[in-house]
Amino acid sequence: MGRITLLRHTTPDVAPGICYGRSDLGLAATFAQEAEAVLAALPAFDHLLTSPLRRCRQLAETIAKARGTTATVADLWTEMDFGSWEGQPWSSIPRADLDAWAGDFLDYRGHGGESVAQLRARIQAAHSLLPAGKCLVVTHMGPIKAARHIAGDPGGWDTKLPFGKMTDPDPSSC
């Protein structure tokens, strides 16, 4: 397996404060400008993979066109499924539910979606399937946090990465 660069999608078209994990959102009106900035900062890569969600696919397709390559949809790199919380303002999710999640961070599934442990296992599987060479993966904050945690970053779950920015999952490479 080669080197991997994780690229967070650009700004989605959603109001601030909304839980939107697996929701298939479009992109903000600033997409063209954000994509231009991404293209200017891209490292060299041999393979381009993308989450199947539109907010990643559109950016990956823009990159592929600019670089004369193709983007491969990789379902395992999709965002975490927040179940019944999807599309809800975080402020409207009952405090007791958020506290239960904080109390059982890895295994909580009270929302009916995916647990953090399931996300981590999925990203570990995705990482093991990467082709040889340099891979650019257009993905989401949840998978980026999981990848950094898997790579040994003790603060991986606390990773913050702005929209349209890149990181290496291995903290020793940053």
Tell me if 4 sits within 8 A of 148, measured CB to CB: no
Question: 76 φ, ψ to 5°?
Answer: -65, -20
Residue 170 has pLDDT above 70, yes or no: no
Token reading at 39: 């293209």
- Helix/strand/coil (H, E, C) string of the chain? CCCEEEEECCCECCCCCECCCCCCCCECCCHHHHHHHHHHHCCCCCEEEECCCHHHHHHHHHHHHHHCCCCEECHHHCCCCCHHHCCCEHHHCCHHHHHHHHHCCCCCCCCCCCCHHHHHHHHHHHHHCCCCCCEEEEECHHHHHHHHHHCCCCCHHHCCCCCCCEECCCHHHC
CA 141 to chain centre: 4
pLDDT, residue 172, reads 47
Tell the burial category of 163 from Cβ atoms under 10 Å away from its Cβ (0-12, 13-18, 19+). Answer: middle
Enumerate domains of the chain plus CATH numbers.
30-42+53-73 (no CATH), 75-132+141-167 (3.40.50.1240)
Alpha carbons 49 and 135: distance in angstroms, whole number: 7
Torsion of CA 8, 13, 19, 23, to 10 degrees: -80
pLDDT of residue 168: 84
Average pLDDT on 11-31 reads 97
38 and 8 Cβ atoms separated by less than 8 Å: no
Instruction: Convert the pLDDT of each residue in 57-102 to its tens digit.
Output: 999 999 999 999 999 999 999 999 999 999 999 999 999 999 999 9
What's the whole-model pTM score? 0.94
